[in-house]
Amino acid sequence: MLSKTKIAELSNVQTPFYYYDMDLLDQTLNSVKKESDAYGYKVHYAVKANANDRILKTIKEKGLGADCVSGYEVKKALEIGFDPRGVVFAGVGKADWEINLGLDNEIACFNVESIPELEIIDELARKKGTVANVALRINPNVNANTHHYITTGLEENKFGINQWDLEKVIDRLSELTSVRLQGLHFHIGSQITDLTSYKELCLRVNEIQKWLLGRRIFPEVINVGGGLGIDYQNPDGNPMPDFQAFFKLFNDILELKPGQELHFELGRSLVAQCGTLLTKILYVKDGVQTKFAIVDAGMNDLIRPALYQAFHKVENLTSDGAFSKYDVVGPICESSDCFGKAVLLPETKRGDLFAIRSTGAYGEVMASQYNLRQIPQAYYSDEF
Ligand SMILES: *Cc1c(COP(=O)(O)O)cnc(C)c1O
């Protein structure tokens, strides 16, 4: 929560902009580190959640690895100083240059999603006279009980290898000499708040491990992906996810073999709560039944509400008037450019400062220049 003096200072800054609470980021990273270290688990940060340099540097300094989903993310992670041995590369459509980049930098692992991809990685690695570590991304057919667009672990999905195809993939793998099976990879979706989805995943991993063992295959690494959710409704009450309960569940249910490592790829749960989008009210407009608070941030600055009907808590930081309902909308020429409908807010007037909360993940990194607007600035609590 921001102090009165801080709000006064922030009111003088050109809006819209992202503001990052670096203390909260630090506490969150300390917590995830402590709770995962307790079991010897390794956490990779999913760079796609927020690829801002300051955020990446802070995460790198805590000793986390990097989970990348494009060659550009691999490049960025290496530039920031992540150890290539802690960089994994996932994605259903890796281009040749992206695979070559990973090979040249000797990244830890390619998470592979199909036989054709496996064959190309093998071919490119052979040309370089090297052997690529791969993990098979298996589709565990677990429902993440989250928004349709961010469910990734179901059968009819562009992601991953289906279980019934696994035999074929394993056979093909045994014929290829420039790829080496390092592990299994799973990722069931995002913003998962019901831990029973992860329990289901653990049980599925146990089954698959048994099946592989029957074929004398011992993956060194089990990577269970990311997706842990955060509390968008109550960011001040729950500023950090319960990492302790999360890792404990895996320890309780997932049957690791001796010497096997368990890896995670957390994105949102590490960075969402430390970010806030600050925006000013341009106009308050009366509709037929609705009052519109028109803000200077748009869906180009934060696309989650328009893209996933995502909820973000909206606060008026500079009014303590009587409460009524407002639709909070942006200036973009699209009806979906709306941050919240019938939001209960204190009496709002031109010039008030709004905070759109929990926007540290999939916020700034998804900003675009639609309508030729500018990518919003970022400021950090330890600098300003
Ligand atoms: C997006 C993604 C993640 C991170 O998801 P979060 O919900 O942000 O934790 C992890 N692994 C893969 C493969 C992903 O695509």
CB within 8 A of 189, min separation 6: which ones? 144, 146, 150, 151, 152, 153, 197, 227
Q: Model's pTM, two decimal places?
A: 0.95
Q: Which amino acid is at 318?
A: T
Q: Which two tokens stand for residue 51?
A: 């690829």
Tell me what the mean pLDDT of segment 98-127 comes to: 97
pLDDT at 163: 84
Average pLDDT, the chain: 95
Q: Identify whether the C-beta of residue 66 lies closer than 8 Å to the C-beta of residue 45.
A: yes
CATH 2.40.37.10 positions along the chain are 4-17+273-383
Q: What pLDDT, on the 0 to 100 scale, is given for residue 156?
A: 66
Average pLDDT over residues 260-268: 98
Where do the CATH 3.20.20.10 domains begin and end in the chain?
Answer: 22-272
User: Across residues 92-114, what is the average pLDDT?
Assistant: 97
> Ligand 1 within 6 A of 304 CB?
no
Residue 201 CB neighbours (<10 A):
26
Is 48 near ligand 1, meaning CB less than 6 Å away? yes
- The DSSP result for 149-199, as a single string, is GGB--SSSSSSSEEGGGHHHHHHHHHH-SSEEEEEEE---BSSB--THHHH
**235 beta partners:** none
Class of domain 4-17+273-383: mainly beta
Residue 135 token pair: 């993990």
> Ligand 1: does its nearest atom lie under 6 Å from the Cβ of 296?
no
Closest CA to 73 of 48, 101, 44: 48
Between the CA of 24 and the centroid of ligand 1 the distance, in Å, is 21
225-249 core/surface letters (b: 16 or more CB in 10 A; e: else): bbbbbbbbeebeeebbbebeebbeb
3 state SS of 295: strand
**In whole angstroms, what is the distance from residue 20 CA to residue 384 CA?**
10
The fold of the 22-272 domain, in CATH, is: TIM Barrel (3.20.20)
Give the residue with greater pLDDT, 2 vs 265.
265
Nearest CA to ligand 1 atom 10: 226
Nearest CA among 360, 279, 311, 313 for reference residue 21: 360
* Cα 236 to averaged position of ligand 1 atoms, centre (Å): 24
Strand partners, 324: 345
Output the CA–CA distances (angstroms, integers) from residue 197 to 18, 44, 138, 192, 371, in the order listed.
Answer: 32, 20, 16, 8, 40
Q: Is 257 exposed, middle or buried (0-12, 13-18, 19+ CB in 10 A)?
A: exposed
- Cβ contacts of 170 within 8 Å, gap of 6 or more: 212, 215, 217
Per-residue pLDDT, 287? 87
Looking at residue 141, its pLDDT comes to 85
Q: How far is the CA of 187 from the centre of ligand 1 (A)?
A: 7
Distances (CA, A) of 160 to 81, 141, 164, 187, 262: 29, 10, 12, 9, 19
The predicted-structure confidence for 144-175, as pLDDT tens digits, reads as follows 766 665 566 566 677 889 988 999 999 999 99
335-383: pLDDT as tens digits:
899 999 999 999 999 999 999 999 999 999 999 999 999 999 999 999 9
Contact partners, residue 37, CB within 8 Å, separation at least 6: none
> Which residue's entry shows tokens 């592990």?
183
Buried b or exposed e, range 3-24, using 16+ CB within 10 angstroms? eeeeeeebeeeebbbbbbbeeb
Share of the chain above pLDDT 70, in %: 97
Q: Is residue 220 scored above 80 in pLDDT?
A: yes
Rounded-to-integer distance, Cα 328 and Cα 238, Å:
24
For the Cβ of 49 lying below 6 angstroms from any atom of ligand 1, the answer is: yes
Q: Which of 83, 28, 34 is nearest to 50 (CA)?
A: 28
**To the nearest 10°, the Cα dihedral for 211, 69, 17, 43?**
40
CA of 211 to the centre of ligand 1 (A): 26
Q: Which class for 176: exposed (0-12), middle (13-18), buried (19 or more C-beta within 10 A)? A: buried
